[in-house]
Structures are given as C-alpha cells and as structure tokens.
Structure 1
C-alpha cells in the first residue's frame, strides 16, 4: 500500500469549476513532483453530470487524446437538469484537488477523495475515497467469505479468469460496483465503469482505493436512498434483467461426462420414474464430436436429434453448451464453422491485425477465438446457431469458457514483449502475467486491443448469443454465460462456476447468489451438490434443499465423479427432492412475478435481510438467510450434522410456509427444526403470494389452478401482484400479451383487479386460498357472493375448490 502527501502528489484545480447545462467541468493540472509508473497525463478534465435526481456521473479523462471507454449505454439520464437532486458535490484545492459527494437530506458525505493519491497515467489510474461506513457489499466476481466486507485491507482483483471459486482469486466476471449502507439505514451505490484489469482495496479509514490500468476513471453514484432503490437505479442505468421463459424456472439437470446418450436417457427415465419435477436436460461438451462447436457425436450420441424432440414432446427442454474457441486445424472444407468464419475475418487477430490468434481449449489442435465485438461475427455466429438448430432442436444456449479461457498463456506462439503484455502495474489478480490462462493483451478485436476489452468478452458474446438464440428458436431466448460484466444481466443468466462438492461451497453459494442479484444478474445459482468431487449424501440432500430456491436451479457435476442427480441416491432421497422441488414449482408464479418486476423496474429478486429491514442493524451481516422479494424468507441448513437452524427474524409477523403457524419470535433469533428434507421457509405478514399446483414439469403445472397465500400483517392487511403470459413468447410485455393482477386484503376482504390480455386471463382459474394470521374463525367465506367451504387450523383459513375464472376482478 502506498501513502501520498497531498501537497506533493495528485492534481490541482485550474481556476474554478465551470458550470455546464447539467453539472460542472473542472480542469486539473498535475503536481509535478513525483510519478508512480511514468507517462502521466499532465492535464485531466473532470466532467460532473447531474444525470437524474438520484444519479450523479463523475468522469476523469484526457481531453487531448482519446482513450478506451466501455461501450455500454447508460440509460435513463434526464433530458433537463434535475430540480431537486438528492446529492450535492463540492470541490476543494486544499492543497491538492479533491471532491465530496454529499447526501442533501442528511449531510452524509458519501465520497471524499481527500485521501489523496489521484493518479491518471497511461497505464495506471487510481482514485481513493473515504466512505461513510464500513457496511458495504459488492465488487466481484470473487468468492467472498462474508457478504459484508471487513475493511481490514481487503483487496479484490477484477479480471475475468477461468478459475474455479477460491478465496482471494479473481473469478469469471468483472463487476466494479458496490452498495454502501449509511449509519441511518440510507444506502447508495457506486459503479466504476472500466473494463481493464483492475483492483480495489478497502482500508480501515474506512476508505476505498480503486486502481485500473487503462481507460478512464468513470464513476456513477446512485443515491437510493433504500438499498432496493439503489439496485433499481443501477439496473435501470445498465439495462434491466432479461425476462426468462417460464420453463427455465423449472429444475434443470446436467453433468460433464454422461459419455453416451444411453446414460442420458437412463438418467431422465429414473427422474421420471420417481416423479421428480424436471424441465431441462443439458448437453455438456461430451455431446460434441471431439468437442467441436456445432457438431454432435454420431457414435456415442447417435439418435440425439430424435431424443431431443422426444424430450420436448413430453414437456421438457434441451440446452446445449457452446465454447468460443473454434478449432482451426481440420482440413479445409471439413469444418464449415471455421472455414466460413475465416473467410469473414471474424476471429481475434494477433497485433498485426491479420493473423488469427491461436490458442488451445477443448477441441483438438489449435483454435481461433471469435471476436464478438465485430458485427460480422454476429452474422456468422447466428448463422451457425440457426443451421445447427436444424439438426439439434435446442431450446437454449449455454456459453462457457468465455473469459476467454485458454489452456496456453497468451497464444500458441507466446506473447510479444511490450507495454500492453507487460504493464508496469499488475493488479492483484492471479497469474504472473495478464495473459495467464487467456489471450495476449496486444491481440486485436474490432473494438480495440484485448488489453482493453478482455473483461468484455463474455459480455459481448452474451449480447450476440441472445440474438442468435432468438433467431434459431423463434421464441423467447434463454442464454446462460460463465463470464459476465456490467450489463450482462439484460441478456444472460449466470452460474457460479466450477464449485466443489463441500460444505464450504454450499455456504458460499448464498453469498454469490446475493451478490449477483446486486450486480443486475438475478437469474443465478450454483451447481447443486457441487461440480468438483464426489458429493456425500447429506451434503447433496442439503444442497437440493437450498438449490431448489436458487433462481437458477440446476444439479451439475463434473467428469469422472459419481452420479449425483436426485434420482441416483435411492427412494428416500428421491422422495425428499421431489417434495422440495414441488414446493419450488408451487411458488413459481411468485418467482415469475419477481422476474417481471426485475425486468420492468430493475428490482432485485433474491435479497439479503438488510435490504428489506434497513433500520435493523442485526441484519447487516446476515448472509446465511435470504429472501425472495419482500415476502419469503429462506433459512437453509449449511453445516454438516445440523438438524436445526438458528435463524434471525426481524420485527414483522412471520408464518411457517408449511402449516401457516405464526412464529412467536420478532426481532430476535429462533431455533427452527430442520431435519433432513426440510428447508425452513417463512412468509412475511403483509403480502399476498401467488401459487400454482405443481406438476412434473412447467408445461403441465401451467395448466393447473392457481392459489393465493394471504399473510396478514399487524393491521390485518396484505398486498401483492401477479404477472402471467404464455411463457415463451417474444416481447409479451410490449405486445400486451400478458395479464397483470393486483391483490389487496384488508378488513376481512380480499379484492382483486386484473388488466391485460382477455384470452390469457380466461384460461386461468383460481383454485384455493390460504389466509394466515386470522384473529378469529370466520362464520362464512364467500367468493363473488357465493358461499364456499373452508377449514381453520393454526389461525389459518384454507379455502379450496374456488374454481373462479380469473378473467376479471373477484372478491373474497
């Protein structure tokens, strides 16, 4: 760690800030006393833009020379200056330049760069700031050991890497964004929009020191003030999450190393025999012909095209994996994807701009890397996907190894000795050189050199692949990507990578899931039961309980390890998995509604307790429980041998999901029984949750009657909403091909309203109600004035056989 004297290092302000239409422009001159790595920029321009009432944009750049900037459109800036911004910014020259961002309502200083050390050189940029508290979440992708950071000189490197989760390692994606909770519960977020290799150090001040080795210093501050508002503002800016097809919310199954179609068939057959809900089967790289994209193994997977159609006829779906490295060693004319790509110049080149850069990944021999920033690559990639869809009728695409991974450092011919390949500062990332496990930084893409765009590789591939999947299937696309960047969530889902089959990674998955919901990628989950290693039965049992409530619920394991799908362990295990997955399927209408709200408003789906109970300091460090939206609390068993959970329940009414019994604990910890096969789920009072009778897949469950869970708060009230569409159509929200219902319960009455497509509503039936927290047994229950039979138990009223078509409003 370096220390900087403000009178001997940094920049001084030239004159005074100049007011612009919606902010300020400041000219900064370097203090010529010392340099860190040379090639400093002597004059730096600072533009401050008041984007919206709750967002301020702060950008340092070299006005005399163009530098690389991330080509991400930041949405939502107001056309005119905001009239009452939540922030103020102040500039100082004491003795060197610094600024403060202040929350207007409280005077809290959110950023204070008087820590010094402002540096803007060609290959090293740094800004340091004090922050108001040590309650901070974010910065990724890392396997953080706690959700809330410690500020004990923690450093996080951010440079996309083919790296299984490991504490301290930079992993598959880059997300330089954090959320900070102030002492009074108000929150703000900060994005450092930069795609170069970078790192951040959290100091005890408390402070944040951010460093990058290229581009510009480009910051966005989101004022919230609620943490959920911060996430909404962030997602609105970077692109709200995609709306998934309904089937993708079902349970999914995969392994690397089935070895043959016969094994796949046997696995699916035993899942069906146990009636374990399942919607998706995957093909990992062993379905391919020698691991070449857009091929399949006609020997071991003979009959695959027909089997995929058989799966689909039974209501299941099939997703294939594609890797970005395209083999280039096959004889000319024998592998069209490479031949056509080479003729279209779609591959990343060496620094000469001509020679395709060669690496080694899964396919035989050397391979070339598509340049997804090249518009011609979009055409080529889409053509390949559309053509292959004619052979394998896939429903979605899984893009892997797209950091991009490389089994040699840089290229098969090595990397040249130059400043890009060997910068003067290497951020705190794994590997001795930037090219470790990836491409040479001086390789060229259409958008720029790999030095600048490395972290954008998976991001750009996701952007292209969602278009390709749409063109191939003609339906709402589904893409899952290993490498992600700011804004990837508008196109792709993510899984947490090649985790281990151990209790540590079971626990870490909760933190990873919560972080990616902050990063704008709410469709996320870990490989259930772990990818590397043989899972033990108790661990896999507990992981199925937790994984049933990942947004992305997929059991996936690696080559050579024992089978771990839920049907592989015998009758008792299968029964437990069936039960917990049926609970998931029951709750899918609520999860789908949360995705609708995320897509339309940017709202987070999986949330830490601290985001819902902002004034409860006890929630700040809780990272072993999580919520679906505002209404459902999950408290999984994460430790071996445990049969109960010590769970915290903030001050609200809480009901056991299974039986409706109200928990007596509020604002305190309670010990909750959780024998094998049980994950404690509690419903928060004040909310209405839509449900549906489960089935063995979503095609069948979508035909079943709906239900409502009405959990009353202290005032005897509850509210909620439900979104519904045809499940896989394109643009149902823009086209109006959907239905939206709102529910309000108060004064012993439930009222509903409905809007949208009449044809969709007329196909929906309300079947049952569960009303939790009633103060006394009702004398009667009527639906639209018609008496209905009901039962009362544990202060819960259950009404069955309602059978009301949801084509309009109804009243209970």
Structure 2
C-alpha cells in the first residue's frame, strides 16, 4: 500500500511539474491567438457595411432614449447573419449623465424569452453615479445627408449632443451641430450574436490544447467599430507590455499583428513590446489630438476582448464616407460575451476625461502614508531570523523602508491564513518588532484554496457550497501552488463577506494590526487549465459562465480582501491590499503592480508606459518590480531601476526565489550608496507624493502622468513615454541603456526647468542632450511650481510624522510660483470627514502666502499638526535679498546662498530662507526683502 501511495504521489508530482513547465517560461503556443479564437477571427474578417440593423420605435422612456434594432427586411436573408428565426430585435437605451457622459446599452429583449439573461458586470459602476443621470424629456430629429429617415438627437452638455442615427444604425457624440467626437458603428461592423437553444446536430464546442469548451448557449460574441475624431493617438486598454501610444494592428502598411488582447492571464516572463494580454484588463481607451483635445470610450464588459487599432486606409474600398474635415482613428472592439454597456466621454481636456471615467468607476483609494514609502519583498524570506536580519541591515546601512513582505513559503503547506510552525513560529512577535520601528508587514493570500480535508477553510467552503463549479456542477478542481485547489465564487456577495471575515484577528491567527495583504495569482491562475486559467464554461452564482466574468474575477477577489481589512479594523484604518489581476474599478480597492517582469533594460524601459497607462485608466497606485522579478540584474541596471522606481507611485523591490539575493547592500559599497540616495529621494519627496495621492483620490488625475496631460497642445509629447510627469511639477527621464554617457531629454513648455538636485536651469520647449552621471536619473522641477519636502531621514515614514518641512520654490519668468501641501493623520478615514490640512502656497512680487483650501466635503472632524516649515528655498530668484519678514508675527529671519542638494555644475546658488519656523497649518506671509 505504501509503495502504491508513493507511486501515486510521484505520478502527481510529474503531472504537476509538466504543467509548471508551461508556466515557468513564456511559451507562445500555450495561449490562443486571434485565428485560434473563433469570435475574434469572425469579427476581424467582416467587411465595412456588414451591419444591417436599423433603429425604429424610438421614444423617450424613464428619462432615456430607447429604440429597437432589427435587420432591414431586404437583408434578413443575409447568409452571414444568424439563422433568421434567431435574429430577434435588440433593445437599445441611451442615457445622459452630468459632466458630458453618455451611456449606451444594447441587449436582447427579455420579452422575447432568451435562453437566459446575459451577464451585466455588477459592483463596478458607482451607485452615486446613477444619481447623476439627466432625465431626458424629449428628443429632436434631423435628417443627416441622404438618409432615408431622420436621426434622433438629445442634449448631452453645453456644446455637445448625442445622435442616434436610425438608418444606417449609428450612435455618436458631436459638438453641437458640428464636429463629431466619438462614434460607434460608423463603419457598419456591429454584430450581436444572440443566445440560442441547442438543436440536434449543433456543434458549438471549441477545443484548444486538449481542453474542450462546451459553449451551452452557442456563440454569443459582440463586435463593433469605434471612431475617435480629431485624434492623433489613442492610449489605454491595459494591461500590455507595449508603448503608451497604441500602435496600429491592422491596415495597409501595418505589419501583420495580433489585436490588443484583454484577457487576464498568468503570463510567466512576459515579453515586452507585445499586444498580448497580461494580468489585467480595463476596456477604456483615451484619444488625444492637438486640435480637438481628448475624448474617451469605455465598454463595461468582463469577457475576453480583442481590440484592433486600425491603420489609415484600412477601409479604402468600403464605399463608406465619413466627415473628412477631421483627423480620425478607427478601432474595432470584439468580445466573446456580455452586453453592450458603453460610455462616451467628451473631455475635452485630458484631465476632464480621466475625471469623467472615474466618476463612473470611482477615484483611487487614499492610501496610508506608509504605503507610499519603500517596500522590500522577495520570494521568499526564509524564516523569522532572515526577516530580523534584513530589517536590521536596513538600519545598519541607513536606508529607510516601510514594509517587509512574505511570499507563499511562509505558510503551513501553502494553506493561506496560516504560518509555517517551524520557520515562523512567533509571527505576532515578529510583526511587533517591525511595528516598534514604525514598519509594517505584508503577507500573500491567493484565491486557490488547498483541497485538504484537514484544512478548515477548504472544509467550510465545501460544506457551504462556496466554490466555483465546473460545467457539470461539481466543485471546480484545478492545480496551483498547493496542488489540487478550488476557488471561491467571488461573484457572490455572501461569499465575499465570508472571505472578508477570514481576515479577522481571531480567524487569521498570528496577524496583527500592522499586517497587510497581497493578492497574487487572482486572474485566476490555474496551472492545468486552458491557457493557464479557469475553463470558460465553469459556473458561478446564477448560472453565470466564467467566460462572462473572467476579467473581473480578480477584481472581486481584491474587493473581498479589502473588505476583510476594513472589517478587521472596524473601518477605522485604511486598508492596503496589492493585487496582480485588475479590472475597471480596481483603483477603489488598493494598489496594482505589473507582474512578473524580467531583469533587463527592455523591461525597465517598458515599465514606464505600463504604469502611465494604468494611471490614465484610473489606477494611480501602481508600480513595477524594481530590479526585475526574473533573472539577476547587473549592478548598473539594478541601480538605474531604483533611481527610476523611486518615482513610481508604488515603490517595491521584488525578486524570484531562484535569483541571487539583492537587498540594497549586496552590490558593493558604491552601489549601496547610490541606491540609498535614490530611496532617500523618495522619502524626501513623500509630502509631495502624498499630496498627489490626495489629488488622485479627489479627482482621479493620476500621480504620474504622460507629458501630454500637462502639455496637451505640444505634439512632441504625444508619443513620448520615456519621460513622465510626477504631478504637474516634476519631470523624470529614465536611463534605459547600459553605461549610458548621455541622454536626450525633451523639456516641454515655454518656461524653464530646474535640475532637481542642483537647481541648474534648462530652457523649455527643446530637447537637451545631457551628460548622465551615475548619481541619478535626470529629474527637473518645472518653473512656476512649489514642492513640499521633508529633508530629515528616518527609519520609516511613520517616524517622519513630526519632522519639519522644506518648501522648494521654482520661479518662472515672471518670478511667480504656486503649489500645495496636503496632510492628514496618514492612516484613518477621518480625512473623509474634513480632518486634514490642505494649504495653497503662492509666490508673487516677492511675497510668499499660505492660505487654506476648504474641505471638499466639510465635516465635524478636525486634524491639527505642530509641524513647521524650517526652510524655504527659492530657485531662479533674480535679486539677492538680505532678509525676510514674516507676518503676522513681524519677525525677520536670515537669508543665505547655497546649493540645492548638490553643488551645481553651472549657474548661481539658490536662495534659502533659514528657520522661518512657521506652522504648516497657519495663514501667514513671508516678504523677501
């Protein structure tokens, strides 16, 4: 019997190892391409004018414009359409919301008794957004061109209106009576495959790599074209390791390419410069052009999606004519399932579109202050002694950090919410030691639950029926790190609540208030599943097929984990949960990182457009594994990554278990010094970063931004993704080649820029070829801005709480500047009740003024701080002052000349007001005399 068991164990190990091999390296043939994906292949092969639908029975109902879509009678025998008895009228509704947002829904008519209700993605749209609906009372009509019937027109916002064109069917938003902004089905590529009941002889199964998808309701895909007018480039639709400006994937002169794929997958060692889908999906695209400005389109759909960016001339032979007075970018959107639930955003400025989108899906959560610091991670820190040693080495080398992370090996047999009793026997004491220094710990909790009858979590989930089911209705059993595993059905609100309860201190034994959470593998990753994920015909609550919600599974898991930390702390402290999988709305629940990158220069380079794209689509709190997850970086790459990563919103060093140890002191004394300086730069700028996190929390505007977001009419910025803005005041240029001696930096705008370290001045509106030093990557402060800093270095951000501030004032050509500082308690939700300090600083005519910015939602809570400003630095001041007068205290303080951070290579020293010691919370002025 023992021999049989041993042989069985060996067989299982061999089977698992064979599956892991496919996960441990990029194997292109393990994943489907468009030609192997029938719905994508069908949609891509359709010609313009394919759609024969026309709108009729148009009316206003419940404050919305409604209509039916049916094929024209002359086209009902089209052989490319579904069987005639299956082509039933579709129901269209068009609604308008405040701030220039249009929503279009198209679905099967429930009165015609479809086989089941098609899936609509829940818990993404904010409930409060629905209250912003403009109640339409009427619509006007207009005959467009040579149309046979009039079109219906409704008000959207001042200067904008939405048009439902009846025949041919089309929906678009335009400037009132004028130029179009965004349109759907202008090229007649719309198709909606309706659910069917299987008849004898129907073969709907799809097979790939030994896996069979039963497809019980037949093909149910949707596709349509979307056009952006006045557009020079389009951006968005993460997550892909590709350029910020999306490249054409189809059309004349375009090298044969795959569409951009949105299908959450665990892609080990992903390649850069690829449209292939990765860990997350946000079907939101932004268009930008010099003359029209910015617009956006969002399709709320969690099924697999493929999107083509169509090159110029792709439709030259179509015979379809569109308004030619505007530049235009056409795109083709294809999804396997779901409904049309689409949103048009009129802009017209970049920040307007981001604000409009986050009005629908939510602004980013406000993180705790510690989460904005540096995080140290590895797969895996071996035991408690290893943790203590790493922690002490940071102190020994005078390197601040805030969070130490533990990967899966810390658990007892890869069972989550447990600790290895030998390696981590005293988890609470371990966490308390870190907390004594103001530091925190993060542990990993993934969605695959080990199928072990002795594991209480599995036993309970099985008894309650909480697992996702396979197509036969049994608990789905897939392989992941623990071996045989099952996955909670996170679509179910009851199951999410049950999962959230597992984070309580009573249930998660060994956890403390300073412990936070990391959700990995939540695409979901299934080593022996089709394309390393869950089968599409697996079943969720209410008979929803996994194909319909796949891209949102990790989102619901992230949501449940975040709710768990809220419950754990009775809603007092802000949670921190990092997730790998993402979907629209993920920004409300925590941070995101770009997954398992590689230690090479190309991956350092592509990290910038990946993080920028996430920011454009709502997810501000994002970063990439500093140093690269796979492989062993050579010292030059490792240092450059820290110097750039110090400006990522989420700043974490991480590495695979097979790599050499690479803590910041292991590359020699000089490299340790360089990395220490990079991390110190991050901590010095924490007040500025925290202020930007609050801006994102209020407005949706990302922490780091493409240059064109701040300089929307400067065409030289539109495709630049080697540099980025941190807020509106800093520009950072990465160094992406080994042993680089020079780098070209484009500094936009008419005003000057100042080197962040030396204060050296550079002219705006031109490209500068700069010598590159090993000390830092090029970074510049924009003239006309004021940045708050903290210049004293501590062990962690929490130990900096009471430290004084420095204001760095970079003056423009009129000797003016402005900036902001936001401060709260750094951890609780009291800020939502008005408990914070928010100051605006302005400098003009030699006078620095501090005024309070009133709370956006005044409440009774209050926050006070005894912190002071101990130094004011002026860069580019045209006179040499002697003293400064502080009012209302009528106090004079000294002024001196000196370096900014390091001695400049050229130019004059900066002007420093020493020890004004004025409160950050007070109203005051300082006159430079």
Is 1:792 the counterpart of 2:897? The answer is yes
Q: Kindly tell me: are residues 580 and 215 of structure 1, through their superposed partners in 2, closer, same or farther at Cα, counting changes over 3 Å? A: same
Residue 11 of structure 1 is matched in structure 2 by 53
Report the structure number with the largest CA radius of gyration: 2
Is 1:379 the counterpart of 2:497? The answer is yes
Deviation of 1:396 after TM superposition, in Å, equals: 1.2
Higher mean alpha-carbon deviation, 507-516 vs 786-795, is at: 786-795
Of the three residues 98, 106, 127, the one matched with 1:52 is: 98
Report matched runs for 1:111-510 at 5 Å: 111=183, 113-122=185-194, 123-132=220-229, 133-150=231-248, 152-153=250-251, 155-164=259-268, 165-166=270-271, 167-184=274-291, 186-205=293-312, 206-328=329-451, 330-331=452-453, 334-353=454-473, 355-363=474-482, 365-386=483-504, 387-393=506-512, 394-409=514-529, 435-446=530-541, 448-473=544-569, 475-510=573-608
Counterpart contact for 2:64–2:94, Cα < 8 Å: yes
CA distance in 2, matches of 1:9, 1:241: 39
Deviation of 1:158 after TM superposition, in Å, equals: 0.8
Deviation of 1:143 after TM superposition, in Å, equals: 1.0
CA distance in 2, matches of 1:742, 1:667: 27
Counterpart contact for 2:283–2:298, Cα < 8 Å: yes
Provide, for residues 137-174 of structure 1, a one-character-per-residue CA deviation record: whole Å limited to 9, x for no partner. Answer: 11121111443434555511111111133323211111
Residue 413 of structure 1 is matched in structure 2 by none
Higher mean alpha-carbon deviation, 282-291 vs 777-786, is at: 777-786
Residue 92 of structure 1 is matched in structure 2 by 165
Deviation of 1:795 after TM superposition, in Å, equals: 6.1
Deviation of 1:187 after TM superposition, in Å, equals: 0.3
Deviation of 1:193 after TM superposition, in Å, equals: 1.0
Deviation of 1:622 after TM superposition, in Å, equals: 0.3
Is 1:546 the counterpart of 2:644? The answer is yes
Is 1:615 the counterpart of 2:615? The answer is no
Is 1:68 the counterpart of 2:119? The answer is yes
Provide, for residues 615-662 of structure 1, a one-character-per-residue CA deviation record: whole Å limited to 9, x for no partner. Answer: 110100100001111111111211112133211011222111112222
Provide, for residues 771-794 of structure 1, a one-character-per-residue CA deviation record: whole Å limited to 9, x for no partner. Answer: 122121123212223111112352
Higher mean alpha-carbon deviation, 567-576 vs 191-200, is at: 567-576
Deviation of 1:388 after TM superposition, in Å, equals: 4.7
Normalising by structure 2, we get a TM-score of: 0.81
Counterpart contact for 2:232–2:290, Cα < 8 Å: no
Of the three residues 854, 870, 878, the one matched with 1:775 is: 878
Counterpart contact for 1:251–1:280, Cα < 8 Å: yes
Higher mean alpha-carbon deviation, 741-750 vs 802-811, is at: 802-811
Counterpart contact for 1:373–1:460, Cα < 8 Å: yes
What secondary structure is seen at the aligned counterpart in 1 of 2:678?
Answer: helix
What secondary structure is seen at the aligned counterpart in 1 of 2:695?
Answer: helix
Counterpart contact for 1:321–1:398, Cα < 8 Å: yes
Residue 836 of structure 2 is matched in structure 1 by 738
Deviation of 1:45 after TM superposition, in Å, equals: 2.0
Residue 318 of structure 2 is matched in structure 1 by none
What secondary structure is seen at the aligned counterpart in 2 of 1:140?
Answer: coil
CA distance in 1, matches of 2:246, 2:760: 32
Provide, for residues 680-709 of structure 1, a one-character-per-residue CA deviation record: whole Å limited to 9, x for no partner. Answer: 111112222111123221011222101211
Counterpart contact for 1:724–1:738, Cα < 8 Å: yes
Residue 29 of structure 1 is matched in structure 2 by 70
Is 1:802 the counterpart of 2:916? The answer is yes
What secondary structure is seen at the aligned counterpart in 1 of 2:186?
Answer: helix
Q: Kindly tell me: are residues 35 and 241 of structure 1, through their superposed partners in 2, closer, same or farther at Cα, counting changes over 3 Å? A: farther
CA distance in 2, matches of 1:493, 1:632: 22
CA distance in 1, matches of 2:528, 2:700: 39
Normalising by structure 1, we get a TM-score of: 0.92
CA distance in 2, matches of 1:582, 1:105: 55
Counterpart contact for 1:283–1:319, Cα < 8 Å: yes
Residue 601 of structure 1 is matched in structure 2 by 699
What secondary structure is seen at the aligned counterpart in 2 of 1:161?
Answer: coil
CA distance in 1, matches of 2:925, 2:163: 55
What secondary structure is seen at the aligned counterpart in 2 of 1:745?
Answer: strand
Aligned residue pairs, count: 777
Provide, for residues 313-367 of structure 1, a one-character-per-residue CA deviation record: whole Å limited to 9, x for no partner. Answer: 1111100001111111x24xx32111222222221122344x211111111x411
Q: Kindly tell me: are residues 467 and 12 of structure 1, through their superposed partners in 2, closer, same or farther at Cα, counting changes over 3 Å? A: same
Residue 811 of structure 1 is matched in structure 2 by 925
Q: Kindly tell me: are residues 779 and 470 of structure 1, through their superposed partners in 2, closer, same or farther at Cα, counting changes over 3 Å? A: same
Q: Kindly tell me: are residues 287 and 388 of structure 1, through their superposed partners in 2, closer, same or farther at Cα, counting changes over 3 Å? A: farther
Residue 765 of structure 1 is matched in structure 2 by 868
Counterpart contact for 1:224–1:230, Cα < 8 Å: yes
Unaligned ranges ≥5, structure 2: 1-43, 136-154, 195-219, 252-256, 313-328, 899-907
What secondary structure is seen at the aligned counterpart in 1 of 2:916?
Answer: coil
Higher mean alpha-carbon deviation, 310-319 vs 254-263, is at: 254-263
Residue 217 of structure 2 is matched in structure 1 by none
What secondary structure is seen at the aligned counterpart in 2 of 1:231?
Answer: helix
What secondary structure is seen at the aligned counterpart in 2 of 1:115?
Answer: coil
Counterpart contact for 1:327–1:367, Cα < 8 Å: yes
Q: Kindly tell me: are residues 38 and 612 of structure 1, through their superposed partners in 2, closer, same or farther at Cα, counting changes over 3 Å? A: same
CA distance in 2, matches of 1:697, 1:185: 46
Is 1:681 the counterpart of 2:783? The answer is no
Deviation of 1:473 after TM superposition, in Å, equals: 4.2
Counterpart contact for 2:579–2:592, Cα < 8 Å: yes
Q: What RMSD over aligned residues (CA atoms) do the two structures have, in Å?
A: 2.1
Provide, for residues 4-47 of structure 1, a one-character-per-residue CA deviation record: whole Å limited to 9, x for no partner. Answer: 252x64312336x4245655223211242435574664312221
Residue 430 of structure 1 is matched in structure 2 by none
Counterpart contact for 1:744–1:752, Cα < 8 Å: yes
CA distance in 1, matches of 2:159, 2:593: 36
Deviation of 1:378 after TM superposition, in Å, equals: 2.6
Provide, for residues 51-84 of structure 1, a one-character-per-residue CA deviation record: whole Å limited to 9, x for no partner. Answer: 1241111222112343211112245353435674
Residue 649 of structure 1 is matched in structure 2 by 747
Counterpart contact for 2:379–2:656, Cα < 8 Å: yes
What secondary structure is seen at the aligned counterpart in 1 of 2:661?
Answer: coil
Counterpart contact for 1:725–1:760, Cα < 8 Å: yes
Residue 415 of structure 1 is matched in structure 2 by none
Unaligned ranges ≥5, structure 1: 410-434
Q: Kindly tell me: are residues 366 and 390 of structure 1, through their superposed partners in 2, closer, same or farther at Cα, counting changes over 3 Å? A: closer
CA distance in 1, matches of 2:915, 2:105: 60
CA distance in 2, matches of 1:105, 1:135: 25
Residue 417 of structure 1 is matched in structure 2 by none
Deviation of 1:593 after TM superposition, in Å, equals: 0.9
Counterpart contact for 1:440–1:450, Cα < 8 Å: yes
CA distance in 1, matches of 2:418, 2:611: 33
Counterpart contact for 2:824–2:837, Cα < 8 Å: yes
